[in-house]
A and B are shown apart, each in its own frame.
Chain A
Amino acid sequence: MQEIVMPANNPEMGLLCLLVPLLPFIGFLINGLGNRKIAKGLVGIIGCGTVLASFLISVYLFFDFTSNGSRSYIVDYYNWVSVGNLQISFSFLIDQLTLLMMLMVTGIGFFIHLYSSGYMSHDENFGKFFSFLNLFMFSMLLLVLGSNYVMMFVGWEGVGLCSYLLIGFWNKNTNYNNAAKKAFIMNRIGDLGFLLGIFLIFITFGSVSYPEVFASAARMTGMQDSTVLIAITMLLFVGAMGKSAQIPLFTWLPDAMAGPTPVSALIHAATMVTAGIYMVIRSNVLYVLAPTTLEVIAIIGLITALLAATIGLAQNDIKKVLAYSTVSQLGFMFLALGVMAFSSSIFHVLTHAFFKALLFLGAGSVIHAMSNEQDIRRMGGLRKALPITFLTFLIGTLAISGIPPFAGFFSKDELLAHVWHHSKIMWGFGVLASFMTAFYMFRLLFLTFFGNFRGTEEQRHHLHESPAVMTIPLIALAVLSTIGGFIGMPEVFGADHILANYFEPIYDYARAASSTALAPLQVDHATEYMLMGVSVAVAVVAIIIAYAMYVKKNTLPAEEGTPLSPAHNLVYHKYYIDEIYNAIFVRPLMWLSGILHRVVDTVLVDGIVNGVGKVVMVSSRTLRFAQSGATGFYLLVMVFSIALILFLNYFI
């Protein structure tokens, strides 16, 4: 059983843990309050410095943790909420999962902060941008560190808020504001599910703190697939659907690309969108007890992966392609969760964070060089002008396509091996999705960096490699994307799966709850080589097709307005999902609110308010005449009033 130690005798550790989220928060306060007063250079130093400090502390905590025998502990700060038998303490849980997420969030976060200080340097609201980024780091760390569902929810809402603020960062553009609102509202739908799940957890287990909930759940061995567990897990998953952009709540993520590119990299590719996966893995014991929910998750993840990959095939906006790719990869992660391959899923979260952040930052570098051009039909041949961006982008593309030995190969292959073990059909579709991934990613790469330049003369003159603050993060992430996969070497290669071994202890409760769950993968070596061979072959074929189409034949995506084949048209318009949502949800709501405005608000509410005023006015206009000024009349009224009072006094 997982051992949880309370380090009451170790206040230094408590302080260190607290500093991790606190430092970015301080950065947020300084940059936020001194928005225009602090010089840009200092803003950058504060913004990046606080995150770097958090990262260094996280590294220290990580090594301290592993050198002390990897024993999880809770740092309890104070009793936060105490109502009836609901006790919520403000405390952090430090365990394997938390530490890995901390390292990922602060590490990648630091590189993206560094990149932002170059990318956003021309923006007038530089300080505001950095304060939002820092606030995001704080919320994300709170989400990851919290030792109960309520704290996770606070961080969960915090990252949602920051996502909203940053998508709508250029708030003078109405389209961007609409994208921000869309993201916010879609996330609210998911959050409602998450919140209801937390309520149900409290009702069922009498607590929201992880150790207590998991320990009670671990004792429910005979309750597999009971209604309440399915309800809890499904509700939590609804929250994950919203945050991690799964069907049907995924349309906000591509629109979220309206925000500055570092935001897309940090929030909408590497950290916030993986919160759903973190949450499911954190609650692994509950999910293990509800296999039905897991099956649903696997199916939804697979459909999302496929659907988003097909949409990705036909997009022409460099960031939109990456956004659909993110949705698709998140689908892969949920597919892995659904087949109980929790470690593979978090492995893919980690490698995806490396290469997707890299790809987004690379795209940002291209956009920067092209003076805010995002349409790949206007690019081409950028290879020579942007050598570092090109090389790093190539590494990222290879990694996401699953070409060995880049990071994506190991994680995706391990994930697909688990899917193979679970269901051959799902595996087939998974491979299909990964084929499409390789195709659209290389389509993007070829169209952007190969061939002839298709932009304007002005853009051609302006082309330049980005400054060092932007290329250094690219290089660092490229290195991580190259070697990151080796922490999860499969057994076939005769190496230890470092990551899976590291994660073993967090499944103790789940193992106690269900003896059959989370058994080691039973796939023999021949099969495993075959699976690897298939996925590599598929990726290579996809690359060759993409090369033949976009480099040899030099095909260009159709210009706007040219008639397309029906299938192409359907995919190009993203299956009209936005239009369908518009027709089903948005229009009726608009119509309803129009009616409410006209009937309830204008007629009823305004009628009551104005009516009260009118009654007072009319009655006072009438009563005015009683004030005749004649003394005799006043006396008469006085006498009769006194008589009336006496009379009433006598009879009542």
Chain B
Amino acid sequence: MNQIPEVIRTIPLEYYLYFSAALFSIGVIGVLTRRNAIVIFMCIELMLNAVNVLLAAFAAYRSDANGQVFVFFIMAVAAAEVCVGLAIIVMTYRNIRSTDVQLLNYLKW
């Protein structure tokens, strides 16, 4: 990867930054405001992907393969996390017939 492909160069690096910042913020707001556990999960995925985009962009612009390796790593971890998380959500739904996180206040003192 000695040279940056022309196609990528046509879009400046800042655009990727703005885009992933926006995407990450949307994810954060979603996590904080939504009550449905599945939507919160999706928002977390948005945040992860915002980071992935940034990593890929930096990897391409700086000709460094490490960033792309991390992208795959994050994807693998995210997939594993989703497996566990969805299983928990399914179990919660079976028990309380809802996925509303506001009802999940069992983690008290």
Question: Which residues of A are interface residues toward B (Cβ below 8 A)?
Answer: 624, 627-632, 634-636, 639
Tell me how far the C-beta of A374 lies from the nearest C-beta in chain B, rounded to whole angstroms.
Answer: 72
Residues of B within 8 A of A632 (CB): 32, 35, 101-102
Return A635 CB to nearest CB of chain B, in Å.
6
**Could you tell me if B107 and A627 are in contact, using CB atoms closer than 8 angstroms?**
yes
| B-chain residues with CB within 8 Å of residue A624 when the two chains form the complex | 109
For B, the interface residue count at a CB cutoff of 8 angstroms equals: 13
Q: How far is the CA of A630 from the CA of B104 in the complex (A)?
A: 6
Instruction: Check: B108 CB closer than 8 A to any chain A CB.
Output: yes
Evaluate contact between B31 and A630: CB separation under 8 angstroms: no
Q: A635-B31, A635-B32, A639-B28 are in contact. Are A627 and B105 (CB under 8 A)?
A: no
B106: which A residues are within 8 A, CB to CB? 629
A627 contacts B109, C-beta separation under 8 Å: yes
CA of A635 to CA of B33, assembled, Å: 10
Q: 1/0 per position for B14-28, CB-CB distance to A under 8 A? A: 000000000000001
Residues of the B chain whose Cβ atoms lie less than 8 Å from the Cβ of A639: 28, 31-32
B28: which A residues are within 8 A, CB to CB?
639
Task: Report the nearest B residue to A634, measured CB to CB.
Answer: B107
Of the candidates A630, A635, A636, which one forms a contact with B105 in the assembled complex, judged by CB atoms under 8 Å apart?
A: A630
Q: A635-B31, A636-B32, A639-B32 are in contact. Are A630 and B109 (CB under 8 A)?
A: no
Contacts of B40 in A (CB 8 A): 635
Q: List 30 A–B pairs whose Cβ atoms lie within 8 Å, in order of A's numbering.
A: A624-B109, A627-B107, A627-B108, A627-B109, A628-B105, A628-B108, A629-B105, A629-B106, A629-B107, A629-B108, A629-B109, A630-B102, A630-B104, A630-B105, A631-B101, A631-B102, A631-B104, A631-B105, A631-B107, A632-B32, A632-B35, A632-B101, A632-B102, A634-B107, A635-B31, A635-B32, A635-B40, A636-B32, A639-B28, A639-B32
Q: Which residues of B contact A630 (CB under 8 A)?
A: 102, 104-105
Which of chain A's residues have a CB closer than 8 A to the CB of B101?
A: 631-632
- B102 → chain A closest CB, angstroms: 6
**4 nearest A-B pairs in the assembled complex, by CB-CB distance:** A629-B108, A629-B105, A631-B101, A629-B107
Contacts of B108 in A (CB 8 A): 627-629
Inter-chain CA distance A10–B50, complex, in Å, is 90
Q: How far is the CA of A470 from the CA of B40 in the complex (A)?
A: 99
| Chain A: minimal CB distance from B28 (Å) | 6
**B102 to chain A: which residues have CB within 8 Å?**
630-632
Q: What's the nearest-Cβ distance from chain B to residue A622, in Å?
A: 12
A-contacting residues, B81-109, CB 8 Å: 101-102, 104-109
Q: Considering the chains assembled together, what is the distance between the CA atoms of A44 and B15 in angstroms?
A: 102
Closest Cβ of chain A to B23, distance in Å, is 16
Q: Which of A628, A631, A634 has the most CB of B within 10 A?
A: A631
Q: How far is the CA of A629 from the CA of B101 in the complex (A)?
A: 10
- Least CB distance, A513 to chain B, in whole angstroms: 83
* Chain A residue contacts of B35, Cβ below 8 A: 632
Chain B residues with CB under 8 Å of A628's CB are 105, 108
Question: Which residues in A have their C-beta under 8 angstroms from that of B104?
Answer: 630-631
The answer for the CA separation of A635 and B44 in the assembled complex, in Å, is 11
- Provide the residues of chain A in CB contact with B109, threshold 8 Å: 624, 627, 629
Interface centre among A630, A632, A634 (most CB of B within 10 A): A632
Closest to A629 in B: B108
Q: Which residue of A lies closest to B104 (CB)?
A: A631
Shortest Cβ gap from A634 to chain B (Å): 8
Q: How far is the CB of A363 from chain B (nearest CB, A)?
A: 77
CA distance A636 to B102 in the complex (A): 13
Instruction: Report Cα–Cα, A627/B107, bound state, in Å.
Output: 8
Q: In the complex, which residue of chain B has the Cβ closest to the Cβ of A643?
A: B28
In the complex, what distance in Å separates the CA atom of A628 from the CA atom of B104?
A: 11
Closest to A642 in B: B28
Which B residues are in CB contact (< 8 Å) with A636? 32
**For residue A635, which residue of chain B has the nearest CB?**
B31
Which residues of the other chain, B, contact A635 by a CB distance below 8 angstroms? 31-32, 40
Q: Which residues of A contact B107 (CB under 8 A)?
A: 627, 629, 631, 634
Closest A residue to B107 by beta carbon equals A629
Q: How near does chain B come to A640, taking the closest CB pair, in angstroms?
A: 10
Separation of A629 and B103 alpha carbons in the complex (Å) = 10
Instruction: Give the CA-CA distance A628 to B108 in the complex, in Å.
Output: 5
Q: How far is the CB of A107 from chain B (nearest CB, A)?
A: 80
In the assembled complex, which residues on chain B have CB atoms less than 8 Å from the CB atom of A631?
101-102, 104-105, 107
Chain A: CB-nearest residue to B34: A632
In the assembled complex, the CB of A629 is this many whole angstroms from the nearest CB of chain B, namely 3
Residue in B closest to A630 when the chains form the complex, CB atoms:
B105
Q: In the complex, given contacts A627-B107, A628-B108, A635-B32, what are 14 additional A-B residue pairs having Cβ atoms less than 8 angstroms apart? A: A627-B108, A627-B109, A629-B106, A629-B107, A629-B108, A630-B102, A630-B105, A631-B102, A632-B32, A632-B35, A632-B101, A632-B102, A635-B31, A635-B40
Q: In whole angstroms, how far apart are the Cα atoms of A634 and B101 in the complex?
A: 11
Given the complex of chains A and B, what is the CA–CA distance between A636 and B28 in angstroms?
9
The answer for the CA separation of A281 and B101 in the assembled complex, in Å, is 93
Cα distance, A636 to B104, chains bound together (Å): 15
A628 to B32, CA, bound (A): 16
For the complex, what is the distance from the CA of A634 to the CA of B106, rounded to whole Å?
Answer: 12
| In the complex, chain A residues whose CB is within 8 Å of the CB of B31 | 635, 639
Give A632 to B43 CA distance when docked, in angstroms. Answer: 14
Q: Which residues of A contact B105 (CB under 8 A)?
A: 628-631
With both chains docked as a complex, state the minimum distance between the C-beta of A619 and any C-beta of chain B, in angstroms.
14
- Whole-angstrom CA separation of A627 from B105 in the bound complex: 10
How far, in angstroms, from A627 to B108 measured CA to CA in the complex?
6
| Bound complex: CA A632 to CA B103 (Å) | 10
Please give me the residue from chain B that is nearest to A636 by CB atom.
B32
A500 to B109, CA, bound (A): 90
CA distance A627 to B106 in the complex (A): 10
Chain A, Cβ-Cβ closest to B44: A635
Task: Name the residue on A nearest B106 (C-beta).
Answer: A629
Instruction: Give bound CA distance, A355 to B87, whole Å.
Output: 100
- A639→B27 CA distance, assembly (Å): 11
Q: Tell me the complex Cα distance, A632–B101, Å.
A: 7
CB neighbours of A629 from chain B (8 A): 105-109
For A631, the closest partner residue in chain B by CB is B101
Report the Cα distance A629→B105, complex, angstroms.
Answer: 4
Q: Complex: how many Å from CA A376 to CA B32?
A: 99
Residue of A nearest to B105 (CB): A629
Bound together, the chains give a CA A362 to CA B56 distance in angstroms of 106
A640 and B42 alpha carbons, distance in the complex (Å): 20
Closest to B101 in A: A631
- The smallest C-beta distance from B62 to any residue of chain A, in angstroms, reads 21
Which residues on the B side are within 8 Å of A634 (C-beta)? 107
Q: Report Cα–Cα, A294/B108, bound state, in Å.
A: 84
